[in-house]
DNA sequence: TACTGTCGGATTGTCAGACAATCCGACAGT
DNA sequence: ACTGTCGGATTGTCTGACAATCCGACAGTA
């Protein structure tokens, strides 16, 4: 009984983390920007302890980096990091695709839904941030095919890094229709049971994504912070 | 110049975390044991803030769990968790094995060294904790073949959970010579370039490991804490 | 000029103490 | 057997403090 009920317990720290994450993803804080404890505490209106804890989780999530005695700053992904994230993504998503034959029906459905969502978002031509989210959702669902929460959590961490990087990069302009088509191919191959081909398609897609991200990272979007 | 120099910066929090981790791995704190902030602060001789931060990282590492307003407790892995960790390990290590043909020479060497280490440790019949560490080292090196730091970090997190579970389980007694042999087979297949067979061997090995862990988890080692 | 020593301000790391909110178990009441 | 209430224990958050560390500027020296 009451299985559907849930109650959101949000601590102050959690809300601070959410707010900081949002600011990072929305590009309000450029990579490398130092996150000063007292300044943030004053700005947000909480104590330094709370900020400190929030910064700790941000660092744990890889969205920020801490240098001992010098504070934490917004993480800025170098080319090497992008490549590293690419390898990690490839590993996780390949595992998901390879698990298709033995995947739970619910996980397969989740993937189908994520793709449908992505298609719809792309067609309705909404905000690019939403599109990114929907796109990442498909890739997340791929990992979900493994049926492992831990792998999903790892995928989420990687996705967060990607979103952070994407927020500070000149618009990655690729034909979104073409993108959707590429994913549809992948899905179709899976539905047809051709795992081998799906893996190849995935690898191809990820390689393209990585090179275009590397390309984009070279020409960072001009921001206020740059000219101060 | 000076590239080889390094200086260890250890903060109080870090040392507390290390100490707690050690206690966890050595089985001094049974799964489920609550980690009270003030009690720990008194025991270790640091302030509550410091303990709090240390507990935060422990939770982030998955070694402990936090229930809002109820504090953190030593994580206790259920059967479902073991299976989940198993899937995650399989994904990461399979990725490593599949990356063998394109792996960096240094990473391959690291694997060879890890295996040599493992062999030596097994032969010299040392402490079982060291043997576990050496064994995990081999599996870590497998993931290392991917050349991704992030995947390595994920593997480390999984290894930590495994060590935690292993610390509170009736001795997993398997012929260690047989174990070493299984790994040797894997290595030999890789050196021979037969990735397919190596993947199969790995999958087999991991399945065995998982079932024996599931088996072991059912009969937890009797501890003082149990009879208090 | 290039390098080294020193100083002050800014910031972090850690501590101590406080208090409300929350949780838990016990106990009493129905 | 279920519900209401109370007190102690514990966490979540805040405030204030201070030493350690870092950074930039400035001066001194070869």
User: Within 10 A of B146 (CB to CB), how many other CB atoms are there?
Assistant: 28
Q: Are residues B55 and B132 in the same domain?
A: no
**Looking at CA atoms only, how far is residue A194 from chain B in angstroms?**
18
Q: Judge whether A93 and B94 are in contact, CB under 8 Å.
A: no
At B225, is the pLDDT very low, low, confident or very high (cuts 50, 70, 90)? very low
Residue A56 vs residues A44, B75, B217: alpha-carbon distances, Å: 16, 20, 33
At A178, is the pLDDT very low, low, confident or very high (cuts 50, 70, 90)? confident
In this structure, the strands spanning A71-74 and A34-35 are antiparallel
Residues in Cβ contact with B179 at an 8 Å cutoff, skipping those fewer than 6 apart: B122, B135
The stretches of chain B forming alpha helices (DSSP H) are: 12-25, 37-44, 48-60, 79-98, 105-123, 128-144, 149-166, 176-191, 195-218, 224-227
At A175, is the pLDDT very low, low, confident or very high (cuts 50, 70, 90)? confident
In whole angstroms, what is the distance from residue A141 CA to residue A196 CA? Answer: 18
Chain B CB contacts of A49 under 8 Å are: 49
**Three-point CA angle B14, B136, B117, nearest 5°:** 105
**Looking at CA atoms only, how far is residue B9 from chain A in angstroms?**
8
> For strand C, is any atom closer than 7 Å to the CB of B70?
yes
Mean predicted lDDT score pLDDT of chain B = 90
> For strand D, is any atom closer than 7 Å to the CB of B68?
yes
pLDDT digits 0-9 by tens, B101-132 = 999 999 999 999 999 999 999 888 777 778 88
> For strand C, is any atom closer than 7 Å to the CB of A68?
yes
Query: Which of A76, A96, A125 lies at the terminal end of a domain, its last residue?
Result: A76
**Looking at CA atoms only, how far is residue A120 from chain B in angstroms?**
31
Judge whether A111 lies within some domain.
yes
The arithmetic mean of pLDDT across residues A95-112, rounded, is: 97
In whole angstroms, what is the distance from residue A148 CA to residue A155 CA? Answer: 11
> For strand D, is any atom closer than 7 Å to the CB of A50?
yes
Judge whether A3 lies within some domain.
no
pLDDT value of position A215? 87
Residue spans of beta strands (DSSP E) within A54-144: 64-67, 71-74
pLDDT cut 70: percent of chain B above it:
91
Find and list the nucleotides of strand D having atoms within 7 Å of a protein beta carbon: 10-17, 20-23
Decide if A57 and B60 are in contact by the 8 Å CB cutoff.
yes
> For strand D, is any atom closer than 7 Å to the CB of B47?
no
Give the structural domain span for B40. Answer: 12-76
List the beta bridge partners of residue A103.
none
Model confidence at A44: pLDDT above 70: yes
B98-112, B143-157, B202-216: which range is least confident on average?
B202-216
Helix B149-166 to helix B79-98 angle (10° resolution) is 140
Element (H, E) at A83: helix A79-98
Q: Are residues A113 and A204 in the same domain?
A: yes
Q: Are residues B62 and B151 in the same domain?
A: no
Q: Taking CB atoms and an 8 Å cut-off, how many pairs form between chains A and B?
A: 65
Model confidence at A7: pLDDT above 90: no
At A124, is the pLDDT very low, low, confident or very high (cuts 50, 70, 90)? confident
The number of distinct structural domains making up chain A is 2
In whole angstroms, what is the distance from residue A21 CA to residue A60 CA? Answer: 13
**Three-point CA angle B20, B24, B30, nearest 5°:** 125
User: Within 10 A of B96 (CB to CB), how many other CB atoms are there?
Assistant: 28
Nearest to B147 among A60, A87, A151 (CB): A87
Distance in Å, residue A5 CA to nucleotide C29 C1': 30
Nearest alpha carbon to residue A87 among B77, B92, B49, B190 = B92
Report DSSP letters for A132-172, one per residue: HHHHHHHHHHHHHTT--HHHHHHHHHHHHHHHHHHTTBS--
Mutate which of B50, B56, B65, B148 to disrupt the A interface (most A C-beta within 10 Å)? B148
Residue B70 vs residues B36, B73, B185: alpha-carbon distances, Å: 10, 9, 48
Query: Residues B128, B130, B136, B141: is their CA dihedral positive or negative?
Result: negative
End-to-end C-alpha distance for chain A, whole angstroms: 59
Q: Are residues B122 and B61 in the same domain?
A: no
Judge whether A223 lies within some domain.
no
Decide if B154 and A60 are in contact by the 8 Å CB cutoff.
no
Tokens representing B114 are 């890890």
Nearest alpha carbon to residue A199 among B103, A207, A149 = A207
Model confidence at B171: pLDDT above 70: no
Model confidence at A59: pLDDT above 80: yes
Tokens representing A78 are 């170098």
pLDDT value of position B174? 64
Q: Are residues A37 and A102 in the same domain?
A: no
In whole angstroms, what is the distance from residue B79 CA to residue A174 CA? Answer: 45
Decide which of B77 and B228 is more confident. B77
Q: Judge whether A86 and A206 are in contact, CB under 8 Å.
A: yes
Q: Are residues B42 and B100 in the same domain?
A: no
Nucleotide nearest to A51 (CA to C1'): D13
Judge whether A97 lies within some domain.
yes
Model confidence at B215: pLDDT above 90: no
Model confidence at A37: pLDDT above 70: yes
In whole angstroms, what is the distance from residue B42 CA to residue B52 CA? Answer: 13
Residues in Cβ contact with A165 at an 8 Å cutoff, skipping those fewer than 6 apart: A77, A82, A213, A217
Judge whether B4 lies within some domain.
no
At A51, is the pLDDT very low, low, confident or very high (cuts 50, 70, 90)? very high
pLDDT value of position A223? 43
Nucleotide nearest to A50 (CA to C1'): D13
> For strand D, is any atom closer than 7 Å to the CB of B208?
no
B193-205 exposure pattern, b = at least 16 Cβ within 10 A, e = fewer: eeeeebbebbeeb
Residues in Cβ contact with A198 at an 8 Å cutoff, skipping those fewer than 6 apart: A97, A100, A186, A189, A190
Tokens representing A23 are 């600011």
Q: Are residues B133 and B188 in the same domain?
A: yes
Chain A CB contacts of B148 under 8 Å are: 84, 87-88, 91
pLDDT value of position B186? 96
pLDDT value of position A190? 96
pLDDT value of position A28? 94
Sheet holding A71-74, edge to edge: A34-35, A71-74, A64-67
Distance in Å, residue A74 CA to nucleotide D1 C1': 57
Judge whether B169 lies within some domain.
yes
Q: Are residues B101 and B201 in the same domain?
A: yes
Nearest to A68 among B11, B87, B158 (CB): B11
Model confidence at A34: pLDDT above 70: yes
Model confidence at A226: pLDDT above 60: no
Domain CATH code at residue B47: 1.10.10.10
Long-range contacts of B187-194 (CB under 8 A, 24+ apart): B187/B111, B187/B112, B187/B115, B190/B97, B190/B100, B190/B111, B193/B100, B193/B101
**Looking at CA atoms only, how far is residue B58 from chain A in angstroms?**
11
Q: Are residues B116 and B90 in the same domain?
A: yes
Mean predicted lDDT score pLDDT of chain A = 90
Q: Are residues B88 and B131 in the same domain?
A: yes
Q: Are residues A201 and A116 in the same domain?
A: yes
> For strand C, is any atom closer than 7 Å to the CB of A38?
yes
Q: Are residues B107 and B180 in the same domain?
A: yes
In whole angstroms, what is the distance from residue B61 CA to residue A99 CA? Answer: 26
Judge whether B178 lies within some domain.
yes
């Amino acid at each position: 009984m009451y299985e559907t009920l849930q109650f959101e317990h949000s601590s102050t720290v959690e809300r601070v983390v959410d707010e900081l994450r949002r600011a990072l993803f929305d590009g309000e804080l450029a990579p490398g920007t130092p996150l000063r404890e007292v300044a943030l505490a004053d700005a947000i209106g909480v104590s330094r302890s709370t900020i400190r804890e929030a910064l700790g989780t941000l660092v744990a999530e890889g969205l920020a980096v801490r240098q001992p005695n010098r504070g934490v700053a917004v993480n800025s992904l170098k080319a090497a990091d992008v490549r590293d994230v690419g390898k990690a993504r490839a590993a996780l998503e390949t595992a998901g695709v390879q698990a298709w034959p033995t995947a739970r029906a619910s996980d397969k459905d989740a993937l189908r839904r994520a793709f449908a969502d992505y298609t719809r978002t792309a067609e309705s031509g909404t905000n690019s941030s939403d599109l990114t989210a929907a796109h990442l959702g498909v890739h997340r669902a791929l990992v979900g095919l493994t049926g492992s929460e831990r792998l999903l959590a790892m995928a989420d961490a990687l996705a967060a890094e990607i979103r952070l990087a994407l927020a500070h990069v000149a618009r990655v302009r690729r034909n979104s229709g073409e993108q959707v088509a590429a994913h549809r191919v992948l899905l179709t191959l899976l539905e047809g049971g051709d795992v081998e081909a799906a893996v190849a398609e995935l690898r191809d897609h990820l390689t393209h994504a990585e090179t275009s991200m590397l390309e984009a990272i070279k020409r960072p979007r001009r921001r206020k912070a740059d000219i101060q």
